Amino acid sequence: MTDTAVLLLSCPDQTGVVATVADFVWRNGGNIIDAEQHTDHTDGVFFQRIEFTLAEFVFARDRLAAAFAPIAERFDMHVDVRYSADRPRLAILASRAPHCLVDLLARWSAGELPADLAVIVSNHPDHADLAGFYGIPFAHLPVESNDGAQELRVRAVLESERVERLVLARYMRILSPEFVDAYPGRIINIHHSFLPAFVGAEPYRQASERGVKVIGATAHYVTADLDEGPIIEQDVTRVSHRHSVEDLARAGRDLEVAVLARAVRADLEHRVLVWGNRTIVFH
């Protein structure tokens, strides 16, 4: 894999942005290997993801931001620079259900997820052996009281492991606003319904009672509002009257696995831009 940089840009919609940015990259030795743009005409906002090779690029990391600053200023642009060589330190938080964790570990092991897996944290001991099989540190942090002590221990582990991004792989604890604020836009959760249908607990029971013919799963960034963060990926599967609540849950597990994996991969590949409560996911 060639080393590349990715610029994730957003600014008020105006002429000249595409040409100016492309010119900046090219003039400074970058070869653009992918560029995608989107204009939200309702809000009048322009978004771009532009990826270019670094082999001949003249600016070192610590100088790129300064070099690009005049363009950013001129277009009133928000700029996020990522490097393919950076592998973020990732934590997976899980409870008892193994399916999402098993899948993420298998994909990580197969090289599908460009991240360093720093630690697996759980309020249950069940997955210690699995973590060990893949050689990942495992922190069993049981909930022993309702005073938030467990969450503080989780945060301490994440900090000591220098974790940068988190995946909640069916982690059944609600995070405090303070926790969420510590990782803004850096926590991905999988909700086991097609949001905004069936928010809250036991969505498969709700789906069964409403008699829906399709069930879904939703991966989203975690914000302080439960089940309300920006949606990264969703998918659905057909069901029928034959599906009991247990059958819905089993069919749903396959969905959860697939949807969470796609969301985590998009995030790690720097393909997601957040705008308000929505995402632009480039391909």
Binding site for a copy of itself (CB under 8 A): 15-16, 18-20, 22-23, 25-27, 31-42, 98-99, 102-103, 106, 109-110, 112, 129-130, 133, 194-198, 208-214, 216, 230-236, 238, 240-242, 244-245, 250, 254, 258, 261, 277-281, 283
Enumerate residues 6+ apart whose C-beta is below 8 A from 23: none
Catalytic hit among 13, 40, 126, 227: 227
Token digits for 138? Answer: 């495992």
Residue 227 annotated in active site: yes
Nearer of residues 120 and 261 to a copy of itself, judged by Cβ: 261
CA distance 78 to 38: 15
Least distance (Å) between residue 163 CB and a copy of itself: 25
Nearer of residues 172 and 197 to a copy of itself, judged by Cβ: 197
Least distance (Å) between residue 159 CB and a copy of itself: 31
The amino acid occupying position 216 is: G
CB 240 within 8 A of CB 214: no
Q: Give the residue carrying structure tokens 């319904």.
A: 193
Enumerate residues 6+ apart whose C-beta is below 8 A from 143: 123, 150, 173
Q: For residue 20, what is the enclosing H or E element?
A: helix 17-27
Least distance (Å) between residue 144 CB and a copy of itself: 28
Least distance (Å) between residue 155 CB and a copy of itself: 29
Nearer of residues 162 and 250 to a copy of itself, judged by Cβ: 250
The amino acid occupying position 189 is: N
Catalytic residues: 227
